[in-house]
Structure 1
Amino acid sequence: MLLPIQVVQKIYYMILAIIGVPVNLLGIVVLSRGKCGLSNCTTCYLVAMAFADLLVIFTEVILFQVNFYYFPQCFLDITPVCTVTYVLRRAAVDCSVWCTITFSFDRFVAICCQQVRTKYCTLKTAALVVAVTCTLLCLKNIPFYFTFEPGAIIDNVPWFCYDNPSYYTDSGWIAFDWFDTILTPLLPFALILLLNTLTIRHVIVASRVRQGLKNQNKGENHSDREMESRKKSMILLFSISGSFIFLWLLFVLDFMYYTITGKDINYYSISEYTFQQFGYMLRNLNCCTNTFIYAVVQSKFREQVKNILKYPFASIIQRITKQNI
């Protein structure tokens, strides 16, 4: 019998899968067209984020959560398959998180580091950073393949993935687990807060300097294009990073809770388990929010979305009109 939180999750993850796939595909298509008024390097990072989020929806939500609730004991539960799926899930989540970090660092350089901006904020650098980061993260997660053992052998076929007891006792695996947890999400949390703080401080100082120069030249009434550009970049940056921090917060708090108290998550009470699962639900929701953020803060992105959504209907109407003529 399902717990109340599991009943909610059964409906929630199906809705998330139905919405998450087309939303991220739409984001990838619109951004890839390069008509949203964004720089090439920014577009590269945003496309990478959307693609990583799509992988999380596919691996974490569809192959794991939806499969668990709607298709129990299917071929995905065969031990070699579910171990590979688990590795892909971890790699997808890591890539999604660290693509957000690389984007945040790129915007930090663009706004705060004028001397290196022209060299670092390029399409070539962005593509290289994304490729190297995601490759290293995928390699980092390969050891997880060896942390499971079959739960049952049926007709000589190993089924289900059970944690190998040595994962919790062997010093090497314990060190690896700490390294993995620090890498995602503790270090990203700290980096985003640090980068945003430094960016805000730099912008405030720069604004005061520019305001002082404007006061000295009261006769001149011209728009500050540099500050307008920075303002748009900051709105996009803070919207994405703020959403990330908010949606990952419960997950991080749960980690801190069982780390500090020494609580075994396998023996959580119902209330503790509910809190933990809400953390996972919000974390996975983070993979659907970026496209909506672009639509809210980027007017050109909205225009491109409208054009793409109108295109099939416009084509049908055009063909019908030609046939009538």
Structure 2
Amino acid sequence: MAVADLMVLIFEVILYEIKDAYFPNSFLNCTPICSLNLALLFLSIDLSIWLTVAFTFDRFVAICYQALRTKYCTEKTATAVITMVCLVSILQNAAIYFVYEPREIINNIPRSCAVQPSFYTSSMWVAFLWLDTILTPFTPLFLIVLLNVLTIRHILLANRVRSGLRGGNNSVGNLTDPETENRRKSIILLLAISANLILLWIVIFVCAICVQFTAVQLLQENYTDPFTIAEQSGYMLRCLSSCTNTFIYAIFQSKFRDDLKNMIKHLLTVNARLKRFT
């Protein structure tokens, strides 16, 4: 997940969004390179959100189905799921390379990328756009919200049963029940993930729906047009989702925090040894 989110920041933020400001005439603006970058951009987005779905399903199984947990929540299964998600995402986004045409030709060199007009009229491309909209972001958002709601429901029911067995108290003396506390943290994590994805993806989702039912088009350069402003804002929020999503998962994982502390301690130890030698 962290690698996929980092890919989004590299291909969308660095190689697509800010390259014109810092490298306006570089080889990155050649149409073949631009098209390849856009294909990799959408690939990284699909990987990011679908790996989030896979991780959410893994937590759903681990919390709600204890009997299946030992069989499904394994390194072997994780490797198989990640490989399958990568292969399907590559196959889905390979066609995006052929969606674009040169925006202009300078010295017989095709520059920049513009969506081909046939993309909005050809039945094949219209079907592809519908499929792409359904697969990302509609289906992932629906699955993440559904799985998190079911997981939270299971946790609340389990807490109610545990509270009943403990006589209505979740603490003994002044000590907090650790199991209940862990479940409370899980609920906060799941709510944060769902809210983060919905809030940061809703704009680009609405834009994708508008393209299907209205005459508006993607990637236009008229930045005074309300739809273009909304579209660009949606891309910005989507990039922000790639940052906050990994952060939310990481900050709530005690093992990650422990590993981060150990890494910092190790770096400080190495730095102290280097100073001692110098």
TM-score range, shorter chain: 0.7 to 0.9
- Change in 2 beyond 3 A, CA 1:126/1:232: farther
Instruction: Could you tell me which runs of 5 or more consecutive residues in structure 1 were left unpaired when the two chains were aligned.
Output: 1-48
Q: Distance in 1 between matches of 2:64 and 2:177?
A: 17
Deviation at 1:52, TM superposition (A): 0.1
Deviation at 1:195, TM superposition (A): 1.0
Alignment of 1:257-268 (within 5 A): 257-265=210-218, 266=220
Q: Distance in 2 between matches of 1:275 and 1:108?
A: 34
User: Are positions 1:292 and 2:244 aligned together?
Assistant: no
Higher relative contact order at CA 8 Å, sep ≥6: structure 1 or structure 2? 1
Match of 1:242 among 195, 217, 233: 195
Check whether the contact 1:148–1:162 (CA below 8 A) recurs between aligned residues.
yes
Q: Distance in 1 between matches of 2:157 and 2:163?
A: 10
Code of the residue aligned with 2:234 in structure 1: it is G
User: Are positions 1:163 and 2:105 aligned together?
Assistant: no
Q: Distance in 2 between matches of 1:294 and 1:151?
A: 40
Q: Distance in 1 between matches of 2:246 and 2:151?
A: 23
SS at match of 1:314: helix
User: Are positions 1:104 and 2:56 aligned together?
Assistant: yes
Match of 1:114 among 66, 79, 82: 66
- Change in 2 beyond 3 A, CA 1:146/1:76: same
Check whether the contact 2:197–2:241 (CA below 8 A) recurs between aligned residues.
yes
Match of 1:317 among 247, 272, 278: 272
Match of 1:304 among 250, 254, 259: 259
Code of the residue aligned with 1:93 in structure 2: it is I
| 1:28-77 deviation digits (Å, cap 9, x = unpaired) | xxxxxxxxxxxxxxxxxxxxx10000111111111101112221131011
Q: Distance in 1 between matches of 2:66 and 2:82?
A: 22
- Change in 2 beyond 3 A, CA 1:110/1:55: same
Alignment of 1:25-104 (within 5 A): 49-104=1-56
Check whether the contact 2:43–2:89 (CA below 8 A) recurs between aligned residues.
yes
Check whether the contact 2:223–2:229 (CA below 8 A) recurs between aligned residues.
no
SS at match of 1:215: coil
Check whether the contact 1:107–1:237 (CA below 8 A) recurs between aligned residues.
no
TM-score (norm 1): 0.74
User: Are positions 1:213 and 2:165 aligned together?
Assistant: yes
Total equivalences in the alignment: 274
Deviation at 1:174, TM superposition (A): 0.4
Check whether the contact 1:294–1:301 (CA below 8 A) recurs between aligned residues.
no
TM-score (norm 2): 0.86
- Change in 2 beyond 3 A, CA 1:165/1:291: closer
Q: Distance in 2 between matches of 1:117 and 1:312?
A: 36
Code of the residue aligned with 1:115 in structure 2: it is A
Match of 2:147 in 1: 195
Deviation at 1:98, TM superposition (A): 0.4
Check whether the contact 1:91–1:141 (CA below 8 A) recurs between aligned residues.
yes
Q: Distance in 2 between matches of 1:172 and 1:137?
A: 19
Q: Distance in 1 between matches of 2:217 and 2:246?
A: 37
Check whether the contact 2:152–2:190 (CA below 8 A) recurs between aligned residues.
no
Q: Distance in 2 between matches of 1:123 and 1:232?
A: 24
Check whether the contact 2:60–2:147 (CA below 8 A) recurs between aligned residues.
yes
Deviation at 1:263, TM superposition (A): 3.7
Deviation at 1:229, TM superposition (A): 4.5
